[in-house]
């Protein structure tokens, strides 16, 4: 994506691409004293500079959101672009009823669900694989691959809560709003997700991810089961 967005505001039919990376996003922080909500309101009244500031704050977090949930970096870029296009087109209807960040991630979730429905349709009618390829296959290290595969084994809602909290760094209230859950439910399911992830990653404290994956394919003897260390990883 390009940083020169005032021109984009005038012509929002397409967003040019630039390379993005898959580094975990840092919490959104303002480059100016203006809040996200103030900037969005200013943009809804015609301030292209305000939208440019919002884009600079959120382009990497939104890309990271999609990159962790899709198999292809190009798809992540396209979905990120679509998210900001929707934001552009909905600006005149924006009302600050919630945090801007919650509003933006809600748009991203809708786009992600639509993308998954299209992928399922193509898999059914055009013979593409029915399962989504593991995005972690493109990771540079075995340890990252091991963690990503472990996360994929979590319950779907628990996994989303874990990702939103640990990577997108949303508050419990924001996660509850996005997933239509009670805050106490978010807390309890996050605890369950962390506990399950520790259990899944426990063999890595004694063996490498590659060795642990190989040993998991072989039937374990009772004696071998006693040798598994009880110490888990700290999340």
Name the percent of the chain lying above pLDDT 90.
42
Every domain of the chain and the residues it spans: 9-132, 134-203
Give the model's pLDDT for residue 117: 82
Lowest mean pLDDT among 86-90, 104-108, 127-131: 127-131
pLDDT over 60 at 34, yes or no = yes
Give the model's pLDDT for residue 127: 55
According to CATH, the topology of domain 9-132 is: Rna Polymerase Sigma Factor; Chain: A (1.10.1740)
According to CATH, the topology of domain 134-203 is: Arc Repressor Mutant, subunit A (1.10.10)
Which tens digits make up the pLDDT trace of 155-178?
A: 999 999 999 998 888 999 999 999
Is residue 192 packed enough to be buried (19+ CB in 10 Å), middle (13-18) or exposed (0-12)?
Answer: middle
Confidence of residue 104 (pLDDT cuts 50, 70, 90): very high
Of the two residues 96 and 232, the one the predictor is more confident about is 96
CA 31 – CA 206 distance, rounded (Å): 44
Average pLDDT for 68-88: 92
Give the model's pLDDT for residue 229: 38
CA 96 – CA 102 distance, rounded (Å): 10
Range with the largest mean pLDDT of 120-124, 145-149, 203-207, 220-224: 145-149
Directed axis angle between helix 172-179 and helix 183-201, to 10°? Answer: 100
Confidence of residue 201 (pLDDT cuts 50, 70, 90): confident
Give the model's pLDDT for residue 161: 93
CA 59 from centre of chain: 13
Task: Check if 9-132 and 134-203 are the same fold.
Answer: no
Lowest mean pLDDT among 41-45, 115-119, 139-143, 224-228: 224-228
Q: What is the DSSP letter of 139?
A: -
At 83, list the tokens: 């998210």
Confidence of residue 32 (pLDDT cuts 50, 70, 90): very low
Average pLDDT for 199-208: 63
CA 84 – CA 91 distance, rounded (Å): 10
Q: What is the DSSP letter of 81?
A: H
């Amino acid at each position: 994506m390009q940083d020169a967005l005032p021109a984009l505001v005038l012509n929002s039919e397409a967003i040019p691409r630039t390379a993005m990376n898959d580094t975990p996003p840092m919490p959104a922080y303002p480059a100016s004293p203006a809040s996200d909500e103030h900037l969005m309101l200013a943009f809804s009244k015609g301030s292209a500079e305000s939208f440019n500031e919002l884009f600079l704050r959120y382009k990497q977090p939104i890309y990271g959101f999609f990159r962790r949930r899709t198999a292809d970096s190009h798809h992540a870029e396209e979905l990120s672009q679509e998210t900001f296009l929707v934001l552009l087109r909905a600006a005149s209807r924006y009302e600050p009823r919630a945090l801007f960040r919650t509003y933006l991630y809600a748009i991203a979730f809708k786009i992600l669900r639509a993308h998954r429905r299209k992928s399922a349709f193509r898999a059914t009618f055009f013979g593409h694989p029915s399962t989504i390829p593991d995005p972690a296959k493109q990771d540079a290290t075995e340890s990252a691959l091991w963690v990503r595969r472990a996360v994929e084994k979590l319950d779907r809602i628990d996994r989303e809560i874990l990702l939103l909290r640990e990577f997108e760094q949303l508050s419990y209230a924001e996660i509850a709003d996005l997933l239509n859950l009670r805050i106490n439910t978010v807390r309890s399911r996050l605890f369950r997700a962390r506990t399950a992830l520790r259990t899944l990653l426990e063999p890595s404290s004694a063996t490498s991810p590659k060795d642990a994956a190989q040993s998991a394919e072989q039937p374990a003897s009772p004696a071998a089961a006693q040798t598994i260390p009880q110490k888990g990883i700290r999340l």
